[in-house]
Amino acid sequence: MDQLEYLDYNYSYEDNGSMLTEETFSPHKPLCLREPLCLSLVVVSLLIFLLGFCGNALVIWVAGFKMRKSVNTTWYLSLAVSDFVFCAFLPFSIASTAMEAWIFGRAMCKLVPSVLFLNMFSSIFLLVIISVDRLVSVVFPVWAQNHRTIKKASVIVFLAWLLAIALSVPSIIFRDVSSHLGRTSCVNKYTSDQYSHSIVALSRLVVGFVVPFAIIIVCYSIIILKLRNNRMTKSSKPFRVMSALVAAFFLCWLPYHVFIVLELNQDNLNRDLLTVGLKVGTLTAATNSFLNPMLYVFMGNDFRQKFKSSVFSKMENAMAEDGRTSTSRYLSRTSTVDGRASTHM
């Protein structure tokens, strides 16, 4: 995610003179911390940083060092690493928002937004991978039991990260520092006709949101149909955890993508409304980085056990590999005449 993207609406296009006004860069402009909206953004962003940094560090420790390594922990560990890296770079964006200027130099101007987009792409790609993995486990349980290995999962994760890195390169290419009226900002330097901006924005929408969610919807539709046909409940732990992760990502990132698309037609929209929308959309996208650890905790056990077990136990329970158990139960259902021996997952 590009935490600085909403700043672009105010003064990011160096070649668009209409957006570089004296009012925007006036030295008499109130400080950010005196403006309610800006102050709220800073405070909420700080909370996201603290919760996300600590929560994902905890997930990394539990999934990477405390639990027995499995395919499931490989997926969840990768998600936690993505969110942890995102949170580690949030302070740069928070400082830039508070000071209304970029003071970290050209290299960090290119690196910070690129890392944030890396989080967006890697997260959604991992969610797609997990969805396909769940589909295979339900539709082809025997094959999954014999072929789902940690080595294969690690290779798939590595390829997903490579693709996410490649799709984050445009941010490195177009981001640069710009000075105007004594203030330095980190901006996108697109061409004057904004063609490059449109291509980059739409490609992020399609590759980082629309297509992945189309794949996820197809996977879930098949899974639900399969569970229903075999009298299996869709309230199993892996299904519930994965459903929550996907729903959280969708709800957090939808406003961001909506306003980024609207920004492409900014001349026909209310500029103040669009500015606020971009800021809020960016913030809601950032909240996704700390939601995953919370979901692991609150979905790891049933409601009564939540208050009896430790946070570590809840996380372990949410991320535990139960493929073999699910597979054996599935086989017992499908092999029993008329489903008389059917049991819940």
Summarize pLDDT for 123-140 with one digit per residue, the tens.
999 999 999 998 998 889
Higher pLDDT, 249 or 240: 249
Cβ neighbourhood burial of 86 (10 Å; 0-12, 13-18, 19+):
buried
Name the percent of the chain lying above pLDDT 70: 72
In this structure, the dihedral spanned by the alpha carbons of residues 121, 73, 245 and 116, taken in order and rounded to 10 degrees, is: -30
Q: What is the pLDDT of residue 244?
A: 85
Would you say 12 and 96 are in contact if contact means Cβ atoms under 8 Å apart? no
Rounded CA separation 52/32 (Å):
24
Quote the pLDDT of residue 27. 43
What's the pLDDT band for 296 if we cut at 50, 70, 90? confident
The 10s digit of each residue's pLDDT in 227-240 is 777 655 544 666 77
At residue 326, the pLDDT reads 44
- The full set of domains in the chain, from first to last, is 5-327 (1.20.1070.10)
Residue 164 pLDDT greater than 80, yes or no: yes
Q: Alpha carbon of 74 to those of 117, 219, 247, 294: distances in Å?
A: 21, 20, 21, 18
pLDDT in tens, 53-107: 999 998 898 888 888 888 988 998 999 999 999 999 999 999 988 888 899 999 9
Which tokens is 318 given? Answer: 């949410």
pLDDT, position 193: 58
Q: Of all residues in the chain, what percent carry a pLDDT higher than 90? A: 35
Which residues lie across from 177 on neighbouring strands? Answer: 186
* pLDDT of 51 above 80: yes
- The token pair at 7 is 């700043």
Q: How far does Cα 336 stand from its chain's mean position?
A: 42
Average pLDDT of the chain to the nearest whole number: 77
210: pLDDT confidence band, cut at 50, 70 and 90? very high
As a whole number of angstroms, the distance between CA 336 and CA 230 comes to 11
d(CA 289, CA 55): 9
